Amino acid sequence: MVKKKDKISLPASGAGLIRYMEIEGKGPKIKPEHVLFGAGALVLIEAMIKFGLI
Protein backbone atom coordinates (compact mmCIF):
# COMPACT_ATOMS: atom_id res chain seq x y z
CA MET A 1 0.00 0.00 0.00
CA VAL A 2 1.03 3.56 -0.63
CA LYS A 3 1.40 5.62 2.48
CA LYS A 4 -0.09 9.11 2.55
CA LYS A 5 3.29 10.90 2.86
CA ASP A 6 4.79 8.87 -0.03
CA LYS A 7 2.02 9.95 -2.41
CA ILE A 8 2.99 12.67 -4.90
CA SER A 9 0.34 15.25 -5.67
CA LEU A 10 0.54 17.25 -8.88
CA PRO A 11 -0.46 20.90 -9.16
CA ALA A 12 -3.85 21.72 -10.61
CA SER A 13 -3.79 22.27 -14.35
CA GLY A 14 -3.68 25.94 -15.26
CA ALA A 15 -2.49 26.98 -11.81
CA GLY A 16 -0.90 30.41 -11.98
CA LEU A 17 -1.57 30.93 -15.68
CA ILE A 18 -3.07 34.18 -16.89
CA ARG A 19 -5.15 34.71 -19.99
CA TYR A 20 -3.73 37.96 -21.30
CA MET A 21 -6.51 38.42 -23.85
CA GLU A 22 -8.96 38.93 -21.00
CA ILE A 23 -6.93 41.68 -19.33
CA GLU A 24 -7.62 45.17 -20.64
CA GLY A 25 -5.20 47.99 -20.03
CA LYS A 26 -5.89 51.71 -19.87
CA GLY A 27 -3.86 52.62 -22.96
CA PRO A 28 -5.12 53.42 -26.44
CA LYS A 29 -6.59 50.58 -28.49
CA ILE A 30 -4.76 50.13 -31.82
CA LYS A 31 -5.89 47.64 -34.44
CA PRO A 32 -3.21 45.41 -36.03
CA GLU A 33 -4.08 46.85 -39.46
CA HIS A 34 -3.17 50.35 -38.28
CA VAL A 35 0.23 49.13 -37.07
CA LEU A 36 0.94 47.49 -40.45
CA PHE A 37 -0.12 50.56 -42.43
CA GLY A 38 1.96 52.82 -40.16
CA ALA A 39 5.04 50.63 -40.58
CA GLY A 40 4.55 50.55 -44.36
CA ALA A 41 4.19 54.33 -44.48
CA LEU A 42 7.37 54.75 -42.44
CA VAL A 43 9.32 52.48 -44.81
CA LEU A 44 7.96 54.37 -47.82
CA ILE A 45 8.92 57.76 -46.35
CA GLU A 46 12.42 56.54 -45.49
CA ALA A 47 12.89 55.16 -49.02
CA MET A 48 11.77 58.47 -50.50
CA ILE A 49 14.23 60.37 -48.30
CA LYS A 50 17.07 58.02 -49.24
CA PHE A 51 16.48 58.42 -52.98
CA GLY A 52 16.11 62.21 -52.68
CA LEU A 53 12.43 62.48 -53.55
CA ILE A 54 11.65 64.50 -50.44
7: Cβ–Cβ under 8 A, 6 or more apart, which residues?
none
Residue 34, domain member (yes or no): yes
Contact 45, 54 (CB under 8 A): yes
* Position 2 in a domain: no
pLDDT confidence tier of residue 8, bands split at 50, 70 and 90: low
Q: How many domains does the chain have?
A: 1
Q: Specify whether the CB–CB gap between 37 and 45 falls below 8 A.
A: no
Q: 21 lies in a domain?
A: no
Q: Tell me the residue range of the domain where 48 lies.
A: 30-54
Cα–Cα distance for residue pair 48/29, rounded to 1 Å: 30
How would residue 9 be classed by pLDDT, with cut points 50, 70 and 90? low
Domain contains 51: yes
Q: Look at residue 12 in the predicted model and tell me its pLDDT.
A: 60
Query: Tens digits of per-residue pLDDT, 13-53?
Result: 655 666 666 667 788 888 999 999 999 999 999 999 999 88
Q: What is the pLDDT of residue 21?
A: 62
Domain assignment present for 23 = no
Residue 43 included in any domain: yes
Query: What predicted TM-score, i.e. pTM, was given to this entire model?
Result: 0.50
Is the residue at 6 inside a domain? no
- Mean of the pLDDT values across residues 4-19? 62
